[in-house]
Amino acid sequence: MIRRRAALARHIPWTLLIFLVLIWVPWLGSRYDTFLATQIAIQALFAVSLNLLLGTTGLVSFGHVAYFGVGAYVCAILMKTYGMPFVVAFPAAGIGAAVFALVAGFFCVRLTKIYFAMLTLAFSQIVWAICFKWNEVTGGDQGLPDIPYPDLDWMAAVPGLADLRLSDRFYLLTLLLVAVSLAVLRQITHSPFGRMLTTIRDNPERAAFIGLNVRAYELAAFVVAGAFAGLAGALFGIFNRGVFADYVFWSKSAEVMIMTILGGMDYFWGPPVGTLALVWLNQQTTSYTEYWPFVLGTLLIVLLYAFPGGIVGGLAAAFRLARRRIVRGDA
Amino acid sequence: MLDVRKLRKSFAGFVAVGGVSLTVDTGQIAAVIGPNGAGKSTLFNLITGHIRPDSGQVLLDGYEITGVAPHRICRMGIGRSFQRTNIFPRLSVFENVQAAFLAHRGRGRNFWSHSQLFYRDETQTLLGSIGLAGQEHAVAGTLSYGNQKQLELGIALASDPAVLLLDEPTAGMSASETHDTMRLLEQIAGERQLTLLFTEHDMAVVFAIAEKIAVLHQGRLLAEGTPAEVRADPEVRRVYLGEH
């Protein structure tokens, strides 16, 4: 009985159900809820892109925000300065971030462990410095405010969407693009290519001696992760109504890493859960206290000791334990 | 099949391998023996491209492979196991071997299909032949030491090598495990017409299955020949076999 129920549970397309529920946020929640949901969706994509390196390939990148930033600036500059439509600017952001990841990654994958991490950090600070100083293109310390929303008038033609505010429509667009991106990333993670990345994570020496060019695979993972970070950045710039050098500062790399580890980097859905938890907690605590970093630090220490697999890892362990108890009780 | 010519490597003045020449014929089972620090592992690492030699050549089937990157040497048909067990500890037993199949058959660049679909039968068959049937779903890192060694052999065999280099395949095993493992190796080498080169501490094992034995001592080749010739060699008896 229990086993049959468990088998049934596995056949329910949970991800599709969650996506279908999330569509209703603009109707069911407040304007602020939609704002939060948009932010979480974008950050979740950013965190999952990082996890392709962190959890899947075992590469600790301390500079992942650089690709997020490149994507944000490329999309913003194309839309604001050159007046290009979103359908051009959005893919261009992904391509721009991928090209930059290819260049930076070429050097980074030649180093290992802490040296790799330091070099990714160095590249990200270079991006930050360029964004901060190159006034004519990036707006320098003023940034690029007032990035236009994509043209979403076509949504008015869809029955039921005509009455939505522009920010609600943008939420739906974001949700769709993030869902498609996550589906692609999930497919890549479970592909033979993804399997090769996990062998590199587990044991690079052995991976080379099953015939893998380890550096080439690491570089490919770096480029894919960079491209999707760029797409997340493009959405974020529009959502945020502006792109500023602050968003490319290295501390943002740490933030997304915390989300990933908090959620559980061994699981594909760990980073989105971590993002959700962190944004929600941030909202809850900042209404009581101004010591958010203190709360975050304490929480992280407790979590790393109690649930080294993150939230999803902890839940999975609890679920396994509960099922074993029930099965034993049944018998 | 494998032809090592005057291979030489020193580390900061210490000569680890000093001009070793060695040939292994196709289908031959050959052993490299010698006390700890004799240069056996270094010799293996020189052959598989993990270390670049100072001088000398390595030829595989007549082609020079000296200084070629390890992943290319692997694709050219040399498989190996490592002295310290070298598996993918967080993947399942099945995934360990399947990954080696995927890599060897050039599927690693497939971004799109589901990896679970590939080489299921081949992987099952291979796991069965190395004695790991029924343990497919176990996480590799939780296996016993002996089983991990078996799994590493499976990973090496999935690359369908012509030459297999095994660095102490029975290290840390009990006497009966050692016996079983060597019988298994002999059988697999026969079936696949493998050229096998291995290092081993247990002299009984070496003299039982090796057709050719090379004795290393302080980075130099002390003797080379059939088990009978090596056993009769006065120099070998003095510095090595005499110790036991």
Residues in B closer than 8 angstroms to A218, CB to CB, are none
With 0-12 / 13-18 / 19 or more C-beta atoms within 10 angstroms meaning exposed / middle / buried, residue A160 is: exposed
Cβ-Cβ pairs closer than 8 A, A with B, add up to 97
Average pLDDT over residues A146-156: 83
Distance from CA of B127 to the nearest CA of A (A): 16
User: Best of A193, A203, A209 to disrupt the B interface by mutation (most B CBs within 10 Å)?
Assistant: A209
Q: What is the pLDDT of residue A329?
A: 65
Sequence spans of domains, chain B: 1-77+162-244, 87-160
Q: What is the pLDDT of residue A5?
A: 62
With 0-12 / 13-18 / 19 or more C-beta atoms within 10 angstroms meaning exposed / middle / buried, residue A100 is: buried
pLDDT interval class at A144 (50, 70, 90) = confident
- pLDDT score of A269 more than 50: yes
| Nearest 10 degrees: Cα torsion A67, A73, A79, A85 | 0
pLDDT in tens, A100-137: 999 999 999 999 889 999 999 999 999 998 888 887 78
Sequence spans of domains, chain A: 2-330
| Nearest 10 degrees: Cα torsion B188, B194, B197, B198 | -10
Q: What is the pLDDT of residue A145?
A: 84
Query: Do A187 and B112 lie within an 8 Å CB cutoff?
Result: yes
- pLDDT score of A330 more than 60: no
**Contact call for residues B189 and B29 (beta carbons, < 8 A):** yes
- pLDDT score of A319 more than 80: yes
Average pLDDT, chain A: 89
Least confident of A86-95, A133-142, B160-169: A133-142
Query: Do B103 and A212 lie within an 8 Å CB cutoff?
Result: yes
Residues in A closer than 8 angstroms to B70, CB to CB, are 208-209
Least confident of A19-33, A147-161, A192-206, A302-316: A147-161
User: How high is the mean pLDDT in each 10-residue block of chain B (244 residues)?
Assistant: 88 86 91 85 90 91 90 92 87 95 89 88 91 91 89 92 89 82 87 90 84 89 88 81 55
With 0-12 / 13-18 / 19 or more C-beta atoms within 10 angstroms meaning exposed / middle / buried, residue A298 is: exposed
Tokens 């892109």 locate to A49
Q: Write the single-letter amino acid at B220.
A: R
Q: Where are the beta strands (DSSP E) in chain B?
A: 2-11, 14-24, 29-33, 55-60, 63-64, 78-81, 163-167, 195-199, 212-217, 220-225
Q: What is the pLDDT of residue B244?
A: 46
Residue partners of A253: CB distance under 8 A and separation at least 6: A61, A62, A63, A64, A65, A66, A121, A124
Residues in B closer than 8 angstroms to A196, CB to CB, are 99, 102-103, 108
In this complex, the residue of A196, A202, A208 whose CB is nearest that of residue B89 is A202
Longest CA–CA span in chain B (Å) reads 62
Least confident of A15-19, A50-54, A263-267, A288-292: A288-292
Above pLDDT 70, what percent of chain A? 96
In this complex, the residue of B71, B110, B118 whose CB is nearest that of residue A212 is B71
Strand partners for A43: none
In this complex, the residue of A192, A202, A213 whose CB is nearest that of residue B71 is A213
pLDDT in tens, A244-268: 888 888 888 888 998 999 999 999 9
List phi, psi (to 5°) of B30. -120, 145
User: Best of A54, A199, A200 to disrupt the B interface by mutation (most B CBs within 10 Å)?
Assistant: A199
Longest CA–CA span in chain A (Å) reads 73
Average pLDDT over residues A77-84: 90
Q: Which two tokens stand for residue A132?
A: 């901060």
Q: What is the pLDDT of residue B151?
A: 93
**Contact call for residues B27 and B194 (beta carbons, < 8 A):** yes
| Cα angle A148-A150-A156, degrees, rounded to a multiple of 5 | 125
DSSP state of A147: P
Better-predicted residue by pLDDT, A327 or A71: A71
From the candidate CATH numbers 3.40.50.12780, 3.40.50.300, 3.40.50.720, 2.70.160.11, the one assigned to the domain spanning B1-77+162-244: 3.40.50.300
pLDDT in tens, A64-74: 999 999 999 99
pLDDT in tens, A155-176: 878 877 778 888 889 999 999 9
